[in-house]
Chain A
Amino acid sequence: MALFISNFNSIFNDAAEPWQLGFQDTAAPGFTGLVTLHNTIGFYLIVISFAVFWVIFSIAYYYNSNNHPIALKYLTHGTVIELIWTISPAFILIAIAFPSFRLLYLMDEVISPTLTIKVVGHQWYWSYEYSDFVTDQGESIDFDSYMIPESDLELGQFRLLDVDNKLIIPVDCHIRLIVTGADVIHSYAVPSLGLKLDCVPGRLNQVSFLAERPGTFYGQCSEICGVWHGFMPIVVEAVSSPDFLVWIDSASQ
């Protein structure tokens, strides 16, 4: 689908925009699943709301004391309707729970990753470690990622969102993130990739994702972590795997 849309040279919405109410465009199967679940449940929510409010208003209208003066005396109990409005919501909740849990456990699955990246949240920046390529000398690729201050912004960069060193990932590869915090709890969140995972000091959390298309995806720390909580954004850049290898080579020097 993403490829089909990109044939028309459209621009994807991969960063938050002012007063945004909807979702950003998806770039990962997990986020596609989340959006679809949200939209499907939202549709039935509207149908159910209309049904419930229609019943409430029609009862209040037809059976009020002016229109129907004796209703209060005779319409006080109904076993059948009690059963219907108790059992049918239970089935609706089950119908919501099944796809919801299915998606939850699908997104939890770590499917044979090609790359593990460690993400460490600091007050107030992110640091990334690529240690799959560690040499015998024990050298590993790691760097810090700071927000670009407003005074240093160049044309086209996002205020409060762009960073100096992006997280570079290969496209169409299952990537495992191992996240942790160095000082307080942070949360690593990138909406387009369907990521949101707490970074807890002393604990390693794992999440898997796959970028379906090349692009630059923006996110922000999502756990209040101190005064500059709002100034530690996340930028993930998905590139083709040959380009990724070229980058990892240049980064290791």
Chain B
Amino acid sequence: MSESASAEQSRFVLQTVGFDARFPNTNQTRNCFQNYTDYFRCITAKGEDFAPCKQFKKAYHSLCPNEWIAKWDEQRENGTFPASLEP
């Protein structure tokens, strides 16, 4: 078991987005939304392969319910996303 566990450790790292001083309250709705918009602003400015953008992607995946992400992805495609994604 310890062998398979160490093999897993290379694949999965127990790590998540840390505390964000902009969102110190129980309400984290804005934290999720901010990271989502920041990611798409980041990749429009620097391109999809720009490594620092990945942090936003990790954050919004950890914080936003999958249903919300799917809905916003759809809205972006239709051009009805309710926030500017220009950098």
Of chain A, the residue at the smallest CB distance from B12 is A133
CB-based contact A112/B18 at 8 Å: yes
B-contacting residues of A (Cβ < 8 Å)? 108, 110-116, 118, 120, 129, 131-134, 140, 142, 170, 173, 176, 178, 180, 182, 197, 202-207, 241-246, 248-249, 252
A131, chain B: closest CB distance, angstroms: 4
CB-based contact B58/A134 at 8 Å: yes
Chain A residues near B11 (CB, 8 Å)?
Answer: 249
B36, chain A: closest CB distance, angstroms: 12
Chain A residues near B65 (CB, 8 Å)?
Answer: 118, 120, 129, 178, 180, 204
Interface size, chain B (Cβ < 8 Å):
28
CB-based contact A132/B16 at 8 Å: yes
B51 part of interface (Cβ distance < 8 Å): no
CB-based contact B62/A131 at 8 Å: yes
Tell me whether A205 and B12 are in contact in the complex, defined as CB-CB below 8 angstroms, given that A132-B62, A140-B66, A182-B67 are known contacts: no
CB-based contact B27/A204 at 8 Å: yes
Contacting A at CB under 8 A, from B57-78, are: 58, 61-67
CA distance A245 to B15 in the complex (A): 12
B1 part of interface (Cβ distance < 8 Å): yes
B5 part of interface (Cβ distance < 8 Å): yes
CA distance A112 to B31 in the complex (A): 16
A-contacting residues of B (Cβ < 8 Å)? 1-2, 4-5, 8-9, 11-12, 14-19, 26-29, 31-32, 58, 61-67
CB-based contact B12/A204 at 8 Å: no
Main secondary structure of the interface of A (DSSP, over half): mixed
CA distance A176 to B61 in the complex (A): 14
B50, chain A: closest CB distance, angstroms: 15
9 A-B pairs (CB sep. < 8 Å)? A115-B14, A115-B16, A129-B66, A132-B61, A178-B65, A204-B27, A242-B1, A245-B12, A245-B14
CB-based contact A245/B28 at 8 Å: no
CA distance A176 to B19 in the complex (A): 10
Chain A residues near B63 (CB, 8 Å)?
Answer: 116, 118, 178, 204
CA distance A33 to B46 in the complex (A): 48
B79, chain A: closest CB distance, angstroms: 22
CB-based contact B12/A114 at 8 Å: no
Chain A residues near B17 (CB, 8 Å)?
Answer: 116
Chain B residues near A114 (CB, 8 Å)?
Answer: 14-16
Tell me whether A108 and B26 are in contact in the complex, defined as CB-CB below 8 angstroms, given that A140-B66, A246-B4 are known contacts: yes
CB-based contact A245/B5 at 8 Å: yes
CB-based contact B8/A120 at 8 Å: no
CB-based contact A242/B2 at 8 Å: yes
Chain B residues near A132 (CB, 8 Å)?
Answer: 14-16, 58, 61-62
